[in-house]
Amino acid sequence: MATVEKITPEQGWLLQRERAVAWLRVAFAAVAVLVIQFNPESVARFPELSSFSLGTFLLYSSTVLYFTARKRGTSSPISVLTTGLDVVWIAVIVFSTGGTHTPFFFYYSFPVITASVRWGLRGSIPVALVGVGIYGIIRLTLAAEAMESPIGIDTILIRSLYLLLLAGIFGYISEFEKKQNERLLALSKTAAQAATLRERRRIMYELHDGILQSLATLILRLEGCRGRLLKTQTELAEEIESVENLTRDSMNEIRQFLAGKDSQPIASGMLMDKLREEMRFLHEGLGLDVILESQPENLALPAVIERETYYVLREALTNVTRHSHASRVEIQLEQMNGTLKGSLTDDGVGFNQKNLRTETGFGLSGMQQRMNKLGGQLLVESSPGYGTKVSFVVPTAVPAELSN
């Protein structure tokens, strides 16, 4: 079975540059062949060497393009080798087509460009100097051989400055592009890490507020069953059936979560029924005095408001059963003028609110995030020995980002 090689964004960026350089090399080689075809007098002095150098340069360029297209040839040693071969091949082309007027002087710009793309200024300037040196030697040698006057110093100077200026410009642009790409890659990695962290926290909150709360309720109900073993079989059977139903609901919630769907703990319009069920268990199973009041009696809330409100109140009830040692719990809900006000009060042992600053769990912070998500506010009031009150205010209009 074929395996797909994965590359990093940085490797992909480098590979794209090498492919661009490879295509440019092929274009240079093809143009050189065409120029000689239309201007054969340029190779009158060394026709065989010219044909050989131009043909092999085209073959070499095509080979490099082939390997680059197959995601090879991007390592540093290969880049150094191809840059060296470019300089040598172009020197041979210039020599064989030179005389005193080669049409291919500007071909020295190709290795300068490729070196700048790969290494910036530290690559382009040295390659430009090497090209200038080789070109000067070739021109002086050919002029001496032909008994011609040596090429003017002004011409050598101008062409040298041309290559050096080209090396400086492309080197600077390449280094600037490299720095910008490195910044973009760093920002991309940071954004990906932040997105991963947000998703991880979302999963933890969903697990805590949904599945783990259901499992905690199951434990409490099983403990209640154990305490009622001596009571009537009918009461015990009803409680076991309730535990079975809650277990099924929890399993369905897990399946929805694994399928990437938002969990829906209650059906639309069933908030008060679910709260009555929770309060009935606290009264019958744990012996707490419970009060549940709402104004109006039947609340008309969007499904997302019902869901988040239920999660918040259920988390607060879970904290009551785990930590407060309360004997009385009261829930008040009031829907009026586009807002829903709610509170849960117990007469338990309470706690020191300074500890909220060092709280590392997901209970209270998860409740706060759920209210903030709806554009609401959550307030926790407690002190040791005086119970706890959790209150919230939330608009009943669903935020646009949650309406879908």
Residue 347 lies in a domain: yes
Residue 89 lies in a domain: yes
- Residues 6 or more apart from 376 whose CB is under 8 A from it? 392, 393, 394, 395
The reply to whether 251 and 232 lie within a common domain is yes
Residue 1 in any domain: the answer is no
- Domain annotation covers residue 267: yes
Residue 286 lies in a domain: yes
Instruction: Assess whether 174 and 270 both reside in one domain.
Output: no
Question: How far apart (Å, rounded) are the C-alpha atoms in residues 216 and 243?
Answer: 11
Q: Considering the domain boundaries, does residue 3 fall inside one?
A: no
Last residue of a domain, one of 146, 176, 192: 192
User: Does residue 215 share a domain with residue 149?
Assistant: no
Tell whether 174 and 28 lie within a shared domain.
yes
| pLDDT score for 228 | 61
Considering the domain architecture, whether residues 140 and 245 belong to the same structural domain is answered as no
Do 383 and 321 have their domain in common? yes
In terms of domains, do 178 and 223 share one?
A: no
Which pLDDT belongs to residue 385?
A: 87
- How many domains in the chain? 2
Is residue 78 domain-shared with residue 52, that is, in the same domain?
yes
Look at residues 136, 168, 192 and tell me which one is the last residue of a structural domain: 192
A 10 A CB-CB count for 378 gives 19
Give this prediction's pTM.
0.44
Does 235 reside within a domain? yes
Q: Same domain, yes or no, for 133 and 204?
A: no
215 plus 187 within the same structural domain:
no
* Final residue in a domain of this structure, among 192, 221, 241: 192
Report the CATH number at residue 360.
3.30.565.10
2 domain residue, yes or no: no
Claim to verify: residue 149 and residue 223 sit in the same structural domain: no
pLDDT tens per residue across all 404 residues of the chain? 444 455 566 666 677 777 888 888 888 888 878 877 777 666 556 777 877 888 888 888 888 888 887 765 556 777 788 888 888 887 787 777 765 566 677 777 778 878 887 787 877 788 888 877 777 776 666 544 444 454 555 566 777 777 778 778 877 777 777 777 777 767 766 666 666 666 666 665 565 555 656 666 666 666 666 556 555 666 666 667 676 666 666 666 666 665 656 555 677 888 898 899 888 888 887 788 999 999 988 888 998 899 889 889 988 888 888 778 889 999 999 999 999 999 999 999 988 877 665 554 556 777 888 898 889 999 999 888 889 999 999 998 887 776 65
Which structural domain range is residue 86 located in?
9-192
Judge if 240 and 136 occupy the same domain.
Answer: no
